[in-house]
């Protein structure tokens, strides 16, 4: 925690400066079109660099750190294969710069956190909220685990505009690149056919059906993942294959959907992008509910949870009453902060942070 709190203070300060500059830039652009266009990005870049460096220069922080460290020598000496060559390519490239597993982790964080923060800066209509929720929802420190899957998720997140723009071939190319890091990203092609549909009772029933099917089809999914990864999951099961997901984590995934149902800002459904983010949020909540009895399958949330960071600003800004919006935003951030604190302090692999320089 000795690293996280100062980091949060700096991120908050830079985020507030970015919001202040954005307001100033809008006024300036109204007077002189084209001026002040890129100033806000400076603060976003500073935040991104901070998050990348803290994530990339960690040492044995995160459950999977040891396994990736132990596999590093194999990554740089083995030949490339068609199955998940992405991290191997990063490791080999990093070895050319400085032959150390720390370089691999730094490059992985550069791609993962860099792509995500870049996408938030480009796509969010309230960057401060998006970046704070990215941290407090656990997705930033979640990248300390499941490195390959987080790399794949970052690629998918960065390329999601091709779904909104209905460019199937380009989306398939994004999925193919993401699959180089984690083969399960292949399955995410289906977002194109589900998340762009109009939100109505048929869509709600479709997502509910997907959730119900998933809840009672664990073995089918284990076989599918095993086939994709060319391994037998059930014959040599991971310890967390049938471990239950903390119900608090599932509740957090439902929060934006419940907020929409409570305040019903239906005018956002006219916005194609906002409607897509709401679809993705409902899909995320449904899939996490379906996976509640398998922490392994619950990693689907690494792919889908990021879209909540773009949905929340839409939901909050559609509240017409200014004081109410501020109050609800503060309450929301307080709830997420409590969730983040609970997650970090209850994980021995996260609570104590060590820098790579301390090894």
Instruction: Summarize pLDDT for 240-256 with one digit per residue, the tens.
Output: 778 888 899 999 999 99
Q: CA 311, CA 127: separation in Å to the nearest integer?
A: 11
The better pLDDT of the pair 268, 127 is held by 127
355 - beta bridge partners? 58
For 221-235, write each residue's pLDDT tens digit. Answer: 888 877 777 777 666
Per-chain mean pLDDT for the chain: 87
Of the ranges 16-20, 167-171, 204-208, 291-295, which is most confident?
167-171
Over pLDDT 70: what percentage of the chain? Answer: 92
The better pLDDT of the pair 134, 200 is held by 134
Q: CA 77, CA 67: separation in Å to the nearest integer?
A: 16
Which of 273, 129, 106, 297 lies closest to 213, judged by CA? Answer: 297
What is the average pLDDT across 316-344?
91
What's the pLDDT score for residue 33? 46
Range of the domain at 255: 184-318
58 - beta bridge partners? 355
Residue with tokens 């092609």: 189
Please check whether residue 73 lies inside any domain of the structure.
no
Please check whether residue 127 lies inside any domain of the structure.
no
Answer yes or no: is pLDDT of 172 > 70: yes
Helices (H), the chain: 4-31, 39-56, 65-77, 86-97, 101-123, 127-136, 139-142, 147-158, 161-164, 168-179, 191-194, 201-215, 218-229, 247-263, 272-290, 301-304, 308-317, 322-345, 348-351
For 187, other C-beta atoms within 10 Å of its C-beta total: 16
Q: CA 264, CA 261: separation in Å to the nearest integer?
A: 5
Q: What total number of domains does the chain contain?
A: 1
Please check whether residue 256 lies inside any domain of the structure.
yes
Please check whether residue 255 lies inside any domain of the structure.
yes
Q: CA 7, CA 334: separation in Å to the nearest integer?
A: 17
Please check whether residue 298 lies inside any domain of the structure.
yes
Please check whether residue 201 lies inside any domain of the structure.
yes
Please check whether residue 17 lies inside any domain of the structure.
no
What's the pLDDT score for residue 237? 62
What's the pLDDT score for residue 238? 65
Of the ranges 19-23, 62-66, 228-232, 308-312, which is most confident?
308-312
Cα distances from 187 to residues 176, 183, 285, in angstroms, run 10, 8, 17
Q: CA 293, CA 170: separation in Å to the nearest integer?
A: 35
DSSP state of 85: -
What's the pLDDT score for residue 25? 58
For 33-42, write each residue's pLDDT tens digit. Answer: 444 445 567 8
For 261, other C-beta atoms within 10 Å of its C-beta total: 9
What's the pLDDT score for residue 305? 94
What's the pLDDT score for residue 156? 97
Residue with tokens 């490239």: 93
Please check whether residue 12 lies inside any domain of the structure.
no
């Amino acid at each position: 925690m000795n690293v996280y709190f100062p980091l949060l203070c700096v991120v908050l300060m830079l985020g507030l400066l970015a919001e202040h500059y954005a307001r100033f830039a809008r006024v300036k652009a109204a007077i002189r079109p084209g001026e002040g266009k890129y100033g806000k990005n400076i603060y976003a870049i500073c935040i991104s660099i901070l998050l990348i460096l803290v994530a990339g220069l960690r040492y044995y922080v995160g459950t999977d750190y040891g396994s990736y460290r132990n596999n590093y020598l194999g990554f740089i000496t083995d030949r490339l294969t068609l199955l998940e060559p992405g991290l191997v390519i990063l490791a080999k490239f990093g070895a050319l710069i400085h032959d150390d597993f720390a370089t691999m982790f730094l490059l992985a964080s550069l791609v993962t956190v860099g792509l995500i923060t870049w996408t938030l800066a480009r796509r969010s209509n309230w960057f401060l909220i998006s970046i704070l929720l990215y941290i407090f929802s656990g997705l930033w420190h979640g990248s300390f685990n499941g490195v390959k899957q987080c790399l794949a998720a970052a690629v998918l997140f960065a390329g999601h505009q091709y779904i909104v723009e209905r460019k199937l071939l380009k989306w398939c190319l994004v999925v193919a690149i993401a699959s180089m890091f984690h083969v399960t990203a292949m399955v995410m092609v289906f977002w194109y056919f589900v998340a762009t549909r109009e939100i109505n009772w048929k869509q709600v029933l479709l997502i509910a059906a997907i959730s119900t099917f998933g809840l009672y089809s664990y073995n089918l999914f284990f076989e599918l993942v095993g086939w994709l990864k060319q391994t037998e999951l059930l014959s040599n099961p991971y310890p967390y294959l049938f471990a239950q997901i903390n119900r608090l984590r599932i509740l957090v995934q439902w929060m934006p959907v419940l907020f929409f149902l409570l305040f019903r800002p239906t005018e956002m459904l006219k916005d194609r992008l906002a409607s897509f983010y709401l679809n993705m949020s409902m899909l995320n909540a449904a899939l996490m509910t379906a996976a509640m009895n398998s922490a392994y399958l619950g990693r689907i949330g690494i792919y889908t949870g990021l879209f909540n960071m773009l949905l929340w600003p839409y939901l909050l800004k559609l509240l017409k009453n200014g004081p109410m919006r501020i109050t609800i935003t503060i309450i929301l951030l307080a709830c997420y902060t409590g969730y983040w604190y609970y997650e970090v302090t209850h994980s021995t692999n996260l609570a104590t942070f060590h820098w790579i320089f301390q090894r």
